[in-house]
Every structure is written in structure tokens, then in C-alpha cells.
Amino acid sequence: MDNIAGTKSALSWVVNLSVIFLVVLWLIPTVGLLVSSFRDRDQISASGWWLSPFPVEQNFQAKAAADDATSQNGTNVIEGNLFSEGSGEVIRFGGSRNNPTANAAGETAELSKDRTLTVQQNGDFVYTSPAEIKRDPSIYYSTKTPPKFSMDNYRTIMSSSNMDLAFINTLTVTIPATIIPILIAAFAAYALAWMDFAGRGVLIAVVVGLLVVPLQLALVPLLQFHNKIGIGQSFLGIWMAHTGFGLPLAIYLLRNYMVGLPRDIIESAKVDGATDFQVFTRIVLPLSFPALASFAIFQFLWTWNDLLVAKVFLPSNSESWVMTVKIADDLLGSRGGDWGILAAAAFISIAVPLIVFFTMQRYLVRGLLAGSVK
């Protein structure tokens, strides 16, 4: 097609540019949060993440030691350097809390009660006061600090906030909830695809109908049911719930795939005396691997990312929180403004799905196509 006259038009660079624009637009939010998760907490609030490769102007406060005061010609003077450790570059400074960056470096600030303060670029300061200096006077200054990147946010969130426990809980919910429905669905899908019996069409229609039943309906009656049979809010309960909720899609996807398998193979196996059980385990199941993989990825992403089912079917104590609940109910409240921590938590929770997504994208796409185009 590329060689046909008219397709290689002047539009091609417009197309390239618009795709680049859309991709950037789609990526920017995620990149922003990823960059922020590595930044120093104070730097995040001092400058936007898009400026993170550049030095950040931050405000600091220092105390001049009143004990160092010397008397020169009747005025009391403190001299010193703001950067007692290391070096830096003062940009602006001030002597009062209300106006911490009133003066440029090198100027002399006139403070109340005839006191003065001079700060040089290299941090040398001179503080003078006609009266005796009793308390350590404060010096406010702003300086450029080089960009700081570290894993500190990740360390903090993993060690102090039980995020590691939430990660394990998510994993605990996800694994059984992904594996068990596949098995149950595979048998049912085989029956619906390759066995003849009365009512098959009705059952397929029921499965298609159940695909769109809103989960919200299931919450109250099932929680009551779980309480009644003694499971209550527990991991067992959420595994069962996820299994039930995942089944329609699993059966639908697998049946659609199995119906497409060549009839000859299955019939010749039956002629050779294989039972349905053998046909299923030896022939159909291995051949259906791509469909099984698609559904496994769906179910994995869905259970890993789920908030609703976890909120309802898991106990509400903090030991049972999965990561989504932890972020939505705990971190956003208690660490609301602490963007470094929030960003790190978000990336811990989306790292595994992203890895699965990028390594198994082929199967995911295939599953999506099988699930909706038909």
C-alpha cells in the first residue's frame, strides 16, 4: 500500500507530528509522577518535576550564634558563614520571617531597632545590633541546591507504612483469584463448545448476559451470604468472589476460542477411543493456551487493580489492606500532601501490572479482540 500514489502525501509529516503529540500527552502524567517519586521531598514542593534536572531555589533558615557576638565601637556584631558545612551560593536573604527574601546577596538589610544584616554570595554574614544580643537572631536565605534524586521515598514507604504488607496482600488475593477461575471455566467452555446437549444455546446466552451484570449488585447479598456461612470478610471470601465475577468472561473467551479449533482433530481422537475427559486434557487444553493466557492476564490485571471488591470482601483492618485500598483510604488521607511518598506508593502498586503488560501485550490484545469484536 505504501507505494500507491496518493498514500505518500504531504500529510505524512502532519501524521507523524500528531502521533508524537498524542503519545507525549498520554505519557506526561505518568512520567511526571515517576520522576517525582525519585525526587527529594522538599524539592518537589519547591519546583515542578519538569524542572527537576535543574538546580532548585529553596528557602532556608539559619541562626547566628549569640555567643559569638563581639563588641566593635559600641555595636554588637556577629560574623560567620551560613554554610558551616560545604559550600553554596546565597541568592537572596532577609532578616524577618515575614519577608525571608527581601534583599539580594551583597546588600545590607536594615532591620527594626537599627539592627543590620549583610549576607554575601558565599554565605559570609555580618549582623549588627546597637543593643546587646540575647537570643540567636534568625537569618532567612534562599539558595540554589543541585537536583537530588534518590530511592528515599521508596525506602520510607516500604519500611514505615506497611506498604510491603499491602504488596503481599495484593499478591495473596491475586494468585488464587487468577488460577482457579481458569480451570473451572475451561471445563465449562469445553462443554459449551464441543458437547451436544439440550439447553446449550440458552446457557451461552446466559453467560453473555452475565458479562455485563454490574458488580455493585453482588456486594450486599454476597457479603450477607459470606457472613451467614461463616466466611465473613476474609481472603477466602475475596477469592471466591473474584472467581465468580471472573467466570463469565473466562467462559466466553475460552468458548469462542475452543469453537474455532479444527473439528477433525477432536473427532479423530474420539474415533480412536478417547473419552471427552481425555480429549479435553490432552488436546483442547494445550491448544487453547493463547486464550488461557489472555484470560489469565485480564484476570490478573483486574484483581490486582481492583478496589471495590477488596473494600467490601476483605476485613477493614490495616493488616488486610491491599495496595489500592492502602493508597485510596490511608495514604491519600494521612500523606495527602507528601507527593514523593504518594508517587513511590503508586509506582510500587503499578510496577507489576506494567511488567506483565509489556511482556505479555500480545496475549492481552488477542484476548481483547476475541472478547469484543465477535
Partner 1 sequence: MSPLVQGIVTVILGVGGCVGYFFLSNLILDKVIFPASGPRPGRNINRANLVRPWLFLFPAMVALGLYLVYPVVGSFWRSLYNRSGDEFIGFGNYQTMFADDGFQTALFNNFLWVLVVPAAATFFGLLVAQLTDRLRWGNIAKSLIFMPMAISFVGASLIWKFVYANNADIGLINAIRDFFGADEPLDVLQLNFWNNFFLMFILVWIQTGFAMVILSAALRGIPEETIEAAIIDGANPFQIFFKIKVPQIMGTIVVVWTTITILVLKVFDIVYTMTGGNFGTEILPSYMMSYMFRDDGRATAVAFVIMIIVLPVMIWNIRQARAEMR
Window 55-114: residues binding partner 1 (CB under 8 A): none
Q: In the complex, what is the shortest distance from the CB of residue 290 to partner 1, in angstroms, rounded to a whole number?
A: 15
Q: Cα(141)–Cα(323) distance, rounded to whole angstroms?
A: 41
Q: What share of the chain is helix, strand, coil (3-state, %, to 5)?
A: 60, 15, 25
Closest CA to 222 of 206, 207, 244: 244
Kindly state whether residue 346 participates in binding partner 1, applying the rule CB under 8 A.
yes
Q: Are 86 and 96 in contact (CB under 8 A)?
A: no
Q: Are 116 and 72 in contact (CB under 8 A)?
A: no
Q: Cα(245)–Cα(363) distance, rounded to whole angstroms?
A: 21
Decide whether 103 or 303 has the Cβ nearer to partner 1.
303
Query: Hey, which residues between 151 and 170 contact partner 1 (CB under 8 A)?
Result: 168-169
* One of 172, 261, 287, 293 touching partner 1 (CB under 8 A): 172
Decide whether 104 or 205 has the Cβ nearer to partner 1.
205
Decide whether 62 or 189 has the Cβ nearer to partner 1.
189
Question: Residues binding partner 1: what is the number (CB under 8 A)?
Answer: 122
Query: Hey, which residues between 26 and 45 contact partner 1 (CB under 8 A)?
Result: 26-30, 32-33, 36, 44-45
Show the site string, 258-287: x = touches partner 1 by CB under 8 A, - = not: -----------------xxx--x-------
Kindly state whether residue 343 participates in binding partner 1, applying the rule CB under 8 A.
yes
* One of 38, 140, 141, 245 touching partner 1 (CB under 8 A): 245
Kindly state whether residue 289 participates in binding partner 1, applying the rule CB under 8 A.
no
On the CB side of 21, CA atoms within 13 Å amount to: 6
Q: Cα(61)–Cα(10) distance, rounded to whole angstroms?
A: 59
Q: In the complex, what is the shortest distance from the CB of residue 368 to partner 1, in angstroms, rounded to a whole number?
A: 5
Buried b / exposed e over 190-215, threshold 16 CB at 10 Å, is bbbbbeeeeeeeeebeebeeeeeeee
Strands of the sheet with 90-94, listed across from one edge: 56-63, 138-145, 90-94, 103-104
Q: Among the candidate windows 75-83, 142-150, 152-160, 346-354, which touches partner 1 by CB under 8 A?
A: 346-354
Query: Hey, which residues between 204 and 223 contact partner 1 (CB under 8 A)?
Result: 204-222
Q: Cα(242)–Cα(245) distance, rounded to whole angstroms?
A: 5
* One of 195, 260, 289, 334 touching partner 1 (CB under 8 A): 195
Q: In the complex, what is the shortest distance from the CB of residue 253 to partner 1, in angstroms, rounded to a whole number?
A: 13
